[in-house]
Amino acid sequence: MSLRTVLLLLAVAGGALPGAASAQDSAEASPRAFNFIVRNPPRTTLAFVIPECLTRRCRRDGKGGTMFWSHRNGRVVAGLASAIPKAPRSEPGRKKLEAIDRVWAGHDVPFALVVTADRIYVGYYDAARQLSVASRPRGSSWWTYTKLPSWVGWDSHNRIAMAVDAAGQLHVAANMHNDPLVYFRTTAGDVRTLARVPVMADAAAERSMTYPMFLKDAGGRLIFSYRDGGSGRGREIYNVLDGGGWKRLLDAPLADGEGKSSAYFVGPVPGPDGWFHLSWVWRDTPDAATNHDLSYARSRDLVRWERSDGTALPLPIRLGDAEVVDPVPVREGMINNNTVPGFDAAGRVVIAFHKFDAAGNTQMFVARREAKAWRVVQASDWKGFRWEFGGMGSLDFRLRVGTPVTEGKALRIPVVRDGKPTDLLLDGETLARIGERPGVMLADRLAARIAVPTGMQLNTVEDASGFAIAWASLPPNRDLPREEVPEAQVLRLVLPD
């Protein structure tokens, strides 16, 4: 394109053509300018000519090309549709990412994601370690932010729990490991109205809280559970939101270690059979090696609990009354949080967990409740792999266990071993080992697009709606300070395909 044509375009964009006595002359000349551009297309897109006319009139010329112009406040803007840079088409399976904020990355501590029919809520610790909540409509990218008066230290236990109740109010509980209640709720649905609530239901039982969790019962009521007391002497407490206020759901704790142990739960998980299913281990001390006795209970209403054979369980559940699925001794390779319930094709509950085999290797096992008893089978056949864990503080898990799921005629057990995702496959009917294959996690799918600094890991939280969040951080450090503070990382929203 000649310099004369470039100058002509600039003049059109500015509202006056060279030699034109008025804007009207320029307007009459603009089609001539377009005709010249059509015959002599530019090699470089002049994007600055385009924006003002994008929302104005547009028509086809006689040769099928598109030209458009706008006459606004005496100015004429002209451009070619062919010169507009087209937005790149999304690749199949390529997730869309959206930055939310810069966040703390000194250690792994679970953030929270809640998605309702019309809004997205994200709870996190920002770059200054402050508890924060961001929210936006599902159909918009305009975020609303609020900062709450609580700051995380180095403890990976201090996860964030969030939920929205039936009235549309947001509830946030966070930053507690044997700490007094840290709880906020909105008053008008807007995150900017989050206000601290000093007491939820019983001040005496809210002085040493850990593992906050929100869930909903079969009727849709909001339930809040937590551990009261430290490891080895904790009680599991359940509250229910009733008439705008909280009260005890159970007259007694769900479980009580009688000052000798604590129950570490996974669940309750709603099953296809209409029951809530709960699995757990008993742990005698803060030493992670003292987990033992894989146990199970079920309930339809989270109030009345029973064993798998239908016999009632008195509350609080104590080790002597509990249904023990597998009497794994202490220091035999079973750890809390890795006893995960799921369901087979027939709707029967299965529990995936790990322990040492006869040769001393760490192996995955599956327990399934069958006609008269629990059946426990080995699901892996690893040679030379032994995860010897113990001590206090948050561990960097060498083995993480996912939810057992049905896949065709097989039962799939997803695990991550030494950072490598793997799917263990069992025959869905006999539980015979079929084999294993490489697994795929959301973090793996995002790895090519999100730069993760050396030594860090990519954390994700996924919601059933298809939305997720992702951020990089250093792994847990047994809840101890590090010598250096790393750079903050970007927290991203991952949109559904």
CA distances from 228 to 96, 240, 249, 250 (A): 41, 16, 15, 14
- Identify whether the C-beta of residue 231 lies closer than 8 Å to the C-beta of residue 239: no
Q: Which residues contact 141 (CB under 8 A, 6 or more apart)?
A: 98
Helix (H, G, I), strand (E, B) or coil at 354: strand
Helix (H, G, I), strand (E, B) or coil at 480: coil
CA distances from 51 to 47, 48, 78 (A): 7, 7, 10
- Identify whether the C-beta of residue 459 lies closer than 8 Å to the C-beta of residue 439: no
Q: How far apart are CA 301 and CA 85, in angstroms?
A: 57
pLDDT value for 230: 86
pLDDT value for 92: 56
Question: Which regions of 392-463 does DSSP assign to beta strands (E)?
Answer: 399-401, 405-407, 410-417, 420-427, 433-438, 457-462
Mean pLDDT of successive 10-residue stretches along the chain, which has 497 residues = 40 40 42 48 38 36 39 36 43 82 98 97 98 96 97 97 97 97 95 97 96 96 95 90 94 90 94 97 94 98 97 95 97 96 96 98 97 95 96 90 96 96 97 96 93 96 96 96 97 95
Q: Which residues contact 99 (CB under 8 A, 6 or more apart)?
A: 490, 491, 492, 493
Residue with tokens 């006795």: 293
- Identify whether the C-beta of residue 154 lies closer than 8 Å to the C-beta of residue 479: yes
Give the strand order in the sheet containing 119-125. Answer: 112-115, 119-125, 130-137, 144-151
pLDDT value for 405: 96
pLDDT digits over 362-412, tens only?
999 999 999 889 999 999 999 999 999 998 888 889 999 999 999 999 999
Closest CA to 472 of 494, 452, 486: 452
pLDDT value for 396: 87
- Identify whether the C-beta of residue 423 lies closer than 8 Å to the C-beta of residue 438: yes
Closest CA to 492 of 464, 454, 451: 451
pLDDT value for 60: 37
pLDDT value for 365: 98
> Are β-strands 112-115 and 119-125 bridged in parallel, bridged antiparallel, or unpaired?
antiparallel
- Around Cβ 223, how many Cβ atoms within 10 Å? 18
Q: Dihedrals φ, ψ of 297, to 5°?
A: -155, 165
CA distances from 60 to 68, 79, 477 (A): 8, 12, 64
Q: Dihedral of CA 279/345/270/168: which sign?
A: positive
What pTM, to 2 d.p., does this model score?
0.80
Q: How far apart are CA 45 and CA 57, in angstroms?
A: 20
CA distances from 456 to 53, 187, 375, 449, 473 (A): 47, 38, 39, 15, 5
Q: How far apart are CA 48 and CA 404, in angstroms?
A: 55
Q: What is the DSSP string of 448-468?
A: TTS---TT-EEEEEE-TTS-E
pLDDT digits over 277-301, tens only?
999 999 999 999 999 999 999 999 9
